[in-house]
Amino acid sequence: MSHLLSKHGISDFEWFRATVNEAQSDPVGMWSMIRAGREGFALNGGELEDFVRRFVVEMITAGAVPIKGDKKAPFGWSPVPRYGGEPAKVADSLIGEWQESKSDPGLDGIWFAFPSVWK
């Protein structure tokens, strides 16, 4: 597979690694990965979907989990266990929801973070 370059000269692999690192201390929203693919890498359609799928798989494989904002939780975030833990299945579920909604997720949607951020 060839690597993509953003309009700023950053490869998709570099972007994935940087955002996985960010998720170790600060949640990363699904909305931001879609925006990065669309605006930063000029992707749409199937290419954007593949970019988001690879991003989700990278996050889950690295140890991040899907979370949502939760005012009742001690740190303001709660895990969303319905997606399971198998990276490809999590990606398929999230992309399926995104496509069904016919709109991009917002700030109230799914985010990714390592347990140290939300526990």
Its pTM stands at 0.91
pLDDT tens sequence for the chain (119 residues): 457 777 778 899 999 999 999 999 999 999 999 999 999 999 999 999 999 999 999 999 999 999 999 999 988 999 999 998 999 999 999 999 999 999 999 999 999 999 999 88
Sheet holding 77-79, edge to edge: 28-29, 111-113, 65-69, 77-79
Contacts of 22 (CB under 8 A, 6+ apart): 28
Report the length, in residues, of the chain: 119
Cα–Cα distance, 15 to 19 (Å, whole number): 6
Minimal CA–CA distance to 9: which of 32, 41, 33, 39?
41
